[in-house]
Structure 1
């Protein structure tokens, strides 16, 4: 996702139930292992490394795939293959990138072949399906003066050649006004579409989620209200959508320093961990916010346990505004603002947009996160490693 300043609109506040605390039933906690940071303008095989907006691990190769959300501006739309050495990750404010090695880069091709033209695509999510040797990727969509483009979920071969498109319901497509406030506007908001992808644990279902609600469902989130987003499920065998669930995005956790200042929050990625159960990332930006004792990058990132098993299947419902439905249940797992380096300094949090399970490390399962630097010298490409604590450890921490 590219963070773009937008005009503020006054919209009626929508109230959502607050998430439960992790102590109430997630059953596990996440501990900080360390981080690595790739210097801006790092070059690899003729491309500028940046915009890393997803992360997926293949245990069979011990490698990771990461899509760049470069809109074919700096270089053609592409994804990278890389390796991460967790033993070299450091709990330090200046960790270096000794544990990060880029191995390959692949150009993503259009349906008819060839690279995407400049500004004709916005790649965001990516998952590798080892059982089928296919790669799935999502495009966010566009609602701009220059034109509308529907959000998309696609399949490609390992060499980047297009394979097929998944069938996205028509009500996700932007229509009506670019400013969306006019009657009759529908579909995704600009820059708040399909940022994420995850595969079900049994490998039969592919999920994506809108960062915020659709225009016809709820207004975008800000510092004073949340937004009712949607999780969309596809049957991989047929490519057709089979279920949808409402997901309540929190308000931006930090109020901007200037009245009416820009804020944004959304679901930037998620990871399936069980039957319709996920770890979701809600990433917020509130520039200029000052929080004592923290490194103020403007970003706040929270990880949630999200359970859709008892959520209403809203598949086929063009609008869920004012509908009596049960949303996905959420439990707060981790506020990354609380993480500390070895010297006690706060972890500077980047624009976290990707999450994956990693290899076992020191006897425990791991989760890896990646931050998109937006090709900005003021932001950074960051990898953060976490370990999954056992339920007994969680109990000890909460006593």
Structure 2
């Protein structure tokens, strides 16, 4: 059975966006987000495979379908993505459960399903004008397994891999941190680039987030034509939101879990903070590369880089582990929607889908 969350709304005003042909804002207007509706897929649901671990989502306006990637490391079933539908009414979701229309196995470079523990899928995007998807794997820094960004055909077949800078390759003194690597992915507004980011700083760039200090994540812009990095920017992840209160679970962290391109320079950024005994704090920020230092090719940050500015737009009043966001269909009144999804880690919380309105306010 699918249970629906209570309707809630919360809006926090943020920084001013640059105008673009697709998203032009009136002079003096600021972006805003508000929560319209939510639904939950209970744990242990089966759609051909165990449904859960949804870490990335993307919407195709031409077909009306979504793709959603699971972060199952081929432990419960082969690494995979789902296709699904979430039709809307004037008030919110028109269904009490996503309509799952397909399950596709992701293939390695040899055309085989990934072996258990050899991949950690985290983000997925449709590639405009092609029959391909782009997706990321976080890898496993603790065992030396590097992250990657790849393209796949819709049937899951490997098509190409992007070249990540050597600075990201994990080692004791270098590269991505374990479980704090490439969670995010978005396609640039002009379709020419893929943009991903580390959840926290690379080892050589500084410490991970703490209760008193944030962390310097790198936002990596990859050129679709060449497959190579074209820019890198520093994104300032905020400090951990709350101290843990559960002595049996004193764990706490914070990271950048997804990006969504607004125009050529501006993005929405999802930050997820967790503390044992408290749970999740999920915030969405506006951020921009305008004025930020392009640190492309630097083996380590120097500390002189100007970071991407950011402004808080929205904090979920009731949400679990939000890891993916996408632009959704137009609302009945012509407004723009965003759909967010949670990763339930195949636990008991179930998978949440949230419908938000994106707009402007003065």
TM-score clears 0.5: yes
Structure 1 residue 29: Cα displacement: 0.6
Equivalent residue runs for 1:57-206 within 5 Å: 57-87=59-89, 98-144=96-142, 147-176=143-172, 185-206=173-194
SS in 1 for 2:242: coil
Q: CA offsets per residue over residues 354-399 of structure 1, 9 Å max, x none?
A: 000000112211000000100012x22000000123x3xx22xxxx
Aligned to 2:297: 316
Task: Please give the alpha-carbon distance, in whole angstroms, between the structure 1 residues aligned to 2:296 and 2:169.
Answer: 15
Cα separation, partners in 2 of 1:307 and 1:215, compared to 1, 3 Å: same
Residue 261 in structure 1 maps to residue 250 in structure 2: yes
Structure 1 residue 225: Cα displacement: 1.3
Q: CA offsets per residue over residues 107-162 of structure 1, 9 Å max, x none?
A: 00010111000111101010011302211010112122xx2111110011111000
Task: Please give the alpha-carbon distance, in whole angstroms, between the structure 2 residues aligned to 1:29 and 1:44.
Answer: 35
Contact 1:38 1:97 (8 Å CA) reproduced: no
Aligned to 2:340: 369
Task: Please give the alpha-carbon distance, in whole angstroms, between the structure 2 residues aligned to 1:232 and 1:191.
Answer: 17
Structure 1 residue 256: Cα displacement: 1.6
Contact 1:86 1:385 (8 Å CA) reproduced: no
* Structure 1: gaps spanning 5 or more residues: 1-20, 177-184, 290-297, 338-346
SS in 2 for 1:332: strand
Q: Aligned pairs, how many?
A: 337
Aligned to 1:344: none
Contact 1:85 1:99 (8 Å CA) reproduced: no
Task: Please give the alpha-carbon distance, in whole angstroms, between the structure 2 residues aligned to 1:87 and 1:79.
Answer: 26
Contact 1:108 1:115 (8 Å CA) reproduced: yes
Cα separation, partners in 2 of 1:135 and 1:192, compared to 1, 3 Å: same
SS in 2 for 1:50: coil
Task: Please give the alpha-carbon distance, in whole angstroms, between the structure 2 residues aligned to 1:249 and 1:215.
Answer: 15
Out of 285, 298, 301, the position equivalent to 1:304 is 285
Aligned to 1:14: none
Q: CA offsets per residue over residues 266-298 of structure 1, 9 Å max, x none?
A: 010110001121000001111212xxxxxxxx0
SS in 2 for 1:22: coil
TM-score by length of 1: 0.81
Contact 1:89 1:99 (8 Å CA) reproduced: no
4+ runs deviating over 6 angstroms: none
Cα separation, partners in 2 of 1:372 and 1:136, compared to 1, 3 Å: same
User: What CA RMSD, in Å, does the superposition of the two structures yield over aligned residues?
Assistant: 1.7
Aligned to 2:330: 360
Task: Please give the alpha-carbon distance, in whole angstroms, between the structure 2 residues aligned to 1:96 and 1:288.
Answer: 34
Cα separation, partners in 2 of 1:97 and 1:224, compared to 1, 3 Å: farther
Structure 1 residue 258: Cα displacement: 5.3
Task: Please give the alpha-carbon distance, in whole angstroms, between the structure 2 residues aligned to 1:55 and 1:263.
Answer: 25
Task: Please give the alpha-carbon distance, in whole angstroms, between the structure 1 residues aligned to 2:314 and 2:68.
Answer: 23
Contact 2:189 2:263 (8 Å CA) reproduced: yes
Aligned to 2:214: 226
TM-score by length of 2: 0.90
Structure 1 residue 195: Cα displacement: 0.5
* Structure 2: gaps spanning 5 or more residues: 1-11, 18-29
Cα separation, partners in 2 of 1:57 and 1:318, compared to 1, 3 Å: same
Task: Please give the alpha-carbon distance, in whole angstroms, between the structure 1 residues aligned to 2:310 and 2:39.
Answer: 29
Task: Please give the alpha-carbon distance, in whole angstroms, between the structure 1 residues aligned to 2:192 and 2:337.
Answer: 23
